[in-house]
Chain A
Amino acid sequence: MTTLEQVWRDEWGRLLALLVRRTRRLDLAEDALAEAFETAARRWPQDGIPDNPAAWLLTAARRRVLDRLRAEAVAARKQPLLAMEEDSRMRHRTTPDDDLLRLVLLAAHPSLSPESGAALTLRLVLGVQTADIARLFLVGEATMAARLTRARKKVVAAGVPLAIPGDDVLADRLDTVAKVAYLAFTAGYAPGSGPDVVRAELAGEAIRLVGLLRSNNPAAQANPSLIALEALMLLQHSRRDARVDGSGRIVLLPDQDRTRWHRAEIDEGMALLQSLTGGGAARLSSALAADYLLQALIAAEHARAARAQDTDWVVISDFYRQLDDLTGSPVVRLNRAVAVAEAGDVPAAFALLDGLEDSLGRTHRLPAVRAELLRRAGRDEEALASYRLAVGMCGSDAERAALQRRIDDLG
């Protein structure tokens, strides 16, 4: 990575947050910062890298903003300004670090759809290019550009504030930020269709977002939803290299080469979990925090097992039971059935699948799990039929290949 790319990754969000706060013009600030980076790409190779790259870029961007404002003043164009808290009604102390949090809260405001919020957050806070966001979310570049434009317009027209709300609202808003980050993460981790098994880049960006936010702001740093989410994402992301084999085929958890898991990330995730659960009951602020915590504890249990056969499925199925009680989600129920079967109680696992057709009838996962349970019960013919059904419904190339291998093994 070149110095400029590194500066883009590290500083884009902070610089944009500063510019937006000063100009109150999202469009102008974004354009000016992008132009400053373009200038840097031309000048730095000739002139050398400045001592303080971020300050250089900020100065260049500010000049652009001033030029544009002067030009606009001549044309007397009226531009809608972002809603800013005035000093008189300031509800929170201000530090330079709050700028980034304001920008995150703006981009992940609950008045935007989670999909738009996720895209806008990647663009504004992390500086990910529109073409890359489009690729990561599996839509065309024009579609993504239009979605981003609509989201920016909504933010300005609806008067979404560039402000940090009071503590009672802030906890809720940080939960929205966590949801948006996890949406981006899952879009990278488990693509619903297409040839890629993992788009690790996007998953990595989502982790970077939460890490950046937590290291910049005390409220975010102490927020249980964000802590649990960061642990969860680190633990899941640590397996990325083992999830695919040399020929791009998906490798399921029991078959993964655990020496390829990223140990440093696992340790980091475990330490975060320890900080939440240390000394007994976890300090949780919301159902969302409990949800992420339980998912992280399940991932941690897998990480703890040196070999697949060492996995403590009884502990894991108990975490899934709690998660099922908490969320009532059919996907959780399905995963719980798998864990219960692994713990040795196949009849109980079958019972957990009852009634899932209504909500999960369109995904391949239900017949795939049923097939697995049938195979364990020694009902091979029924298992084959269920695997074939799953293959027919599966949109991901890698997962379909994994299912096909099961059929070949049985047949």
Chain B
Amino acid sequence: MTKYLVLLAGREGEWEAATDEQRAGWHRDHLDFGRVVGDDILGGEALAGTDTATTVRRRSGKTELTDGPYAETAEQIGGFYLVQAPDLDQVLAWCELLPEIYTLEVRPCIEVDLSA
């Protein structure tokens, strides 16, 4: 089994601007995802807006703090799931269950074996 991080990116404010009906539909999608993937979900959170983000950059021993997300892009990470799966196609199949509003980025996690 490989661990995969599924990053959920979307246009900011889209969720807040949606109707109750749309939001209920997206909630149902997340619940379906949870039911189907089950114990293979190792973790996951929804994140507060990028206006709550603080960016920390450390260069040559100096720490610089700035307001906002690290990247200026049209879409921002709104949450994530950490899942385990035997292969990429399994994760891609699960991704079909998530709300269509997201652009998803699927990344395998590197297993670091500290005992070796």
Which A residues are within 8 Å of any B CB, using their own CB?
78, 83-86, 89, 109, 111, 157-161, 163, 165, 169
Contact indicator A169/B89 (Cβ below 8 Å): yes
Q: Considering the chains assembled together, what is the distance between the CA atoms of A161 and B110 in angstroms?
A: 17
Contact indicator A161/B108 (Cβ below 8 Å): no
Which residues of chain A are within 8 angstroms of B86 by Cβ–Cβ distance? Answer: 83, 85-86, 89, 159, 161
Which residues of chain B are within 8 angstroms of A109 by Cβ–Cβ distance? Answer: 88
Query: Contact residue range for chain B?
Result: 10 to 19
Contact indicator B89/A165 (Cβ below 8 Å): yes
Contact indicator A161/B88 (Cβ below 8 Å): yes
Contact with A along B89-114 (1 / 0, CB 8 A): 11001000000000000101010010
Q: With A83-B2, A169-B93 given, is the CB distance from A159 to B88 under 8 Å?
A: yes
Which residues of chain A are within 8 angstroms of B2 by Cβ–Cβ distance? Answer: 83, 159
Secondary structure type dominating chain A contacts: loop
Q: With A78-B113, A78-B116, A83-B2 given, is the CB distance from A160 to B93 under 8 Å?
A: no
CB distance from A27 to the nearest CB of B (A): 17
Which residues of chain B are within 8 angstroms of A159 by Cβ–Cβ distance? Answer: 2, 4, 85-88, 108
Inter-chain pairs besides A78-B113, A84-B87, A86-B86, 14 sampled, C-beta below 8 Å = A83-B2, A83-B86, A83-B87, A85-B86, A85-B87, A89-B86, A157-B110, A159-B2, A159-B4, A159-B86, A160-B88, A161-B89, A163-B87, A169-B89
Which B residues are within 8 Å of any A CB, using their own CB?
2, 4, 85-90, 93, 106, 108, 110, 113, 116
CB distance from B6 to the nearest CB of A (A): 13
22 CB < 8 A contacts A-B = A78-B113, A78-B116, A83-B2, A83-B87, A83-B88, A84-B87, A85-B86, A85-B87, A86-B86, A109-B88, A111-B88, A158-B106, A159-B2, A159-B85, A159-B86, A159-B87, A160-B87, A160-B88, A161-B86, A161-B87, A161-B88, A165-B89
Which residues of chain B are within 8 angstroms of A157 by Cβ–Cβ distance? Answer: 108, 110
